[in-house]
Amino acid sequence: MPVVSGSPRPRGKLGRRLAALVVTLAIVPAGVLGYVLIGVNQASLEDTTRDLLFSAIDNVAQQVDRSLDEATTSLIAIRGVLGNEALDARARVEIATQIVAASTALDVVAIYDETGAQVDVVRDAGRTEPVPTTLPVASRPARDRSEPVAGAVEVVPGGLVSPLVIAVPIGDHTWYAYAPLSLAPLDVAVASAATSALGATPGSVFVVDRQLRVIADGDPERVTALARADAEIVRDLASTPVDEEFLAFRRYDNARGEMVGAVRTLRSLPFAVVAELPVERAYASVAQMRLAVIVVVLIAMLASAMLALLVVRRLSAPVDHLVRFAGDLAARRFDAPLTVASGDDLEVLGDAMRDAAQALARGEDLLRKEQTIRADLGRYLPKQLVERIVTREQSLALGGQRRIVTVLFADVTSFSSLVEQREPEVVVSILNQLFTILTELVFRHGGTVDKFIGDSVMAFWNAPDDQPDHAARAVASSIDMMRWLETVNEAWQAQHGVTVRLAIGIHTGEVVIGNFGSETRMEYTCIGEAVNLAARLESIARPSQILVSRATHDAAGDAYPYIEFGPQRIPSRLDPVEVFEVAS
C-alpha cells in the first residue's frame, strides 16, 4: 500500500486509538454481560440464602411451638382444675399431679395465692427442681388472661428455664400456677437446624431473648452464662415491642468475619431465632462466576488486540499522512504534495483533500486581493461605508436621504502663520500626524470622517449606521481631541518649536446624506444647513475651544459640563443661535 505525503511530522495517536477502540468494543460487551450475569447470580444466591436461613429458623420455631403448645395446654387444664370449686382441695391437687405426670413439657408446677405466697408444689415423680417461694408482682398475669405468660429466662441448677405463669380465678380470689419450661430442647432444635438445614457447624443457629442474651446455640453448657449476642443483625431487637414481629436479613461483620444472617421473633415466646453463614461460603459461586468473567474478558482482550493490529496496519498509515496533509492545509501550505494509493475510500478522500487545497489556494489569492482593495478604499471612504459597499448593503446610485446627524468641524487656528514660519515639509508632517490622530479618535467613537479641507477635518455621526447617542459620541470625540493635543504639543514644541491649537464646532440637525457627484466620480457626504451651522460655530470658536449648539447640547445630555453663552449672532444667519462651550 504505497503512500507518499508532504513534509514529515510526528506520528499521531490514531493507530493506538483505533486499537483501543477495537479492544474496547470487544471488552465492553463481555464485561457488561459478565456484570449482568454476576448480578443475576448474586441476586439469585441472595434469595436462595434468605430462604435457606429462614427455613432453618422455621424449623426451630416449629419445635418450640410444639413444646410450648403442650405446656400451654397442660397449664390451661391445671387452671381449670384448680379453679373448679366443686372439687375439694385434695382432689384438685391429685388431678393437677396427674396432668403434670402426663405432660412431657412440664416437670413441676408451683401454686401461689393472690399475695404471691407459695401454696403448694405439684411435681412429676422423682423431680426435685427448686421453685420460687414467692411470686413477684411483675410476674403475675391479669385475672382475665386465660393463657400463660412467659417471663424472663432464669438460670437453675438443671440449666435455663423460661417461667410460664397462668392466672387461676377461684371465687373472688386469684391464684397463680407457675411452671419452669426447660429450654434444653431448644439446644437440640438449633443444633439440628444448623446441621440439617444449613449444613453448618453448631452455633450457626442460635436463640436470643429480648435482652439479646444467647439462650440456645446447640451447646447447653456454653449458654448457661447468658452471654450477649455479638451479631449486628439483632441490634434493633431490644427496641422492638414484645407484641410486634421482628424480621431482618442483612450482611454484617462479627468476630467470625463477614456474615449474612436472618432473624425472626417467635410467635409464642419473647425470643428470636438467628441463623447465619459466612459470606464467603454463602456466595462462593459469585466468586467463581467473577473469575470466569475475568478469564473471558482477558481472552477477548487478547483476540481483539490481535485483530486491532491488523486493522491499524491497514488504516493508520494512510490516515496518518492525511492528517499531516490536513496540518499543511491549516498552516496554509496549499502546495504540499499528497498521494494516497490505497485503493479504497481513503484514496478518494486524498483526492478530495488535494482538490480542496487547490480551491483554498485560489480563495486565498482572492481574499488577499479583496483585503488590498478594502484597504485602498478605506483611504478614500469612511470605514463603515467601505464595509457596506463590499457587502452590497450600500447603494452606489446618486442621490441622498434626509437624516438627523451630528456634524463636527475641527480647524487648526493660526494656520497661515504656521505655514509662513516653517518649511512645507514640516507643516505637511505635522498635519499628517494631526489628521491621523483626529481620524482615529473619530473612529474610536464610531464616527465617519467626511473630508479634509485644508487644515480642517469634517466628521459626522449617525450615518451610515444608526447611533441613538450620536451627539454624545461627537462631544466625547471632541474632548479626546483636545486632551490628546495637549500631550502631543509637548513633542512638537520640543521637535519643531510649534504648538498647534484647534477650534471645534458641533451641531446636530437634519441633512441630506448620500452619494453626490457624477456617475463616474461621486462622493459620500452630507449637505444642508446643519453642516453650515457646524462650520460657522467652528469659525467663531477661539483656540482650544469647543462650541456646540442648543440641539447638540440637548441631544448629548448632562454627561458633560457646559458653559452657556446664550443666543449669539452667527455670520450668514439671520436668527441668533444658542451657543454652549464644552468645558473639557
Over residues 450-490, the pLDDT tens digits come to 899 888 999 999 988 899 999 999 999 999 999 999 999 89
Given a cut of 50, whether residue 5 has pLDDT beyond it is no
Instruction: Say how far apart CA 220 and CA 232 lie, in whole Å.
Output: 23
SS3 207: strand
Identify the residue with better confidence: 25 or 170: 170
Cis ω before 382 (30° cut-off from 0): no
Give the residue-averaged pLDDT of 111-128. Answer: 86
User: Quick one: pLDDT band at residue 372, thresholds 50, 70, 90?
Assistant: low
Tell me the CA distances in angstroms from 365 to 336, 359, 415, 421, 425, one per residue in order.
Answer: 17, 10, 45, 49, 38
Give residue-wise pLDDT tens across range 299-355. Answer: 776 776 677 667 666 666 677 667 777 777 777 776 777 766 666 676 677 777 777
Instruction: Say how far apart CA 231 and CA 335 lie, in whole Å.
Output: 80
Give pLDDT, residue 397: 61
Query: 94-98, 266-270, 282-286, 313-317: which has the highest mean pLDDT?
Result: 94-98
Instruction: Say how far apart CA 490 and CA 156 lie, in whole Å.
Output: 117
Q: Is the pTM of this model over 0.85?
A: no
- Short-list 310, 540, 272, CA closest to 409: 540
Instruction: Say how far apart CA 23 and CA 15 lie, in whole Å.
Output: 12
Give the residue-averaged pLDDT of 114-123. Answer: 89
Give pLDDT, residue 38: 67
Given a cut of 60, whether residue 359 has pLDDT beyond it is yes
SS3 457: strand
Give the residue-averaged pLDDT of 74-91. Answer: 86
Give pLDDT, residue 411: 93
Give residue-wise pLDDT tens across range 179-203. Answer: 888 888 877 887 888 787 777 676 7
User: Quick one: pLDDT band at residue 531, thresholds 50, 70, 90?
Assistant: very high
Give pLDDT, residue 549: 95
Give pLDDT, residue 8: 44
Given a cut of 70, whether residue 510 has pLDDT beyond it is yes
Identify the residue with better confidence: 66 or 340: 66
517 contacts 398 by C-beta, under 8 angstroms: yes
Distance of alpha carbon 488 from the chain centroid: 57
Largest CA distance in the chain: 159
Give pLDDT, residue 2: 42
SS3 368: helix
Give pLDDT, residue 243: 72
Task: Average the pLDDT over each of 218-232, 240-254, 274-288, 567-581 and give the range with the smallest value.
Answer: 218-232
User: Quick one: pLDDT band at residue 391, thresholds 50, 70, 90?
Assistant: low
Give residue-wise pLDDT tens across range 394-446. Answer: 556 676 889 999 999 999 987 766 667 778 888 888 889 999 999 999 999 99
Q: What is the mean pLDDT of the chain?
A: 80
- Give the CA radius of gyration of the chain: 55
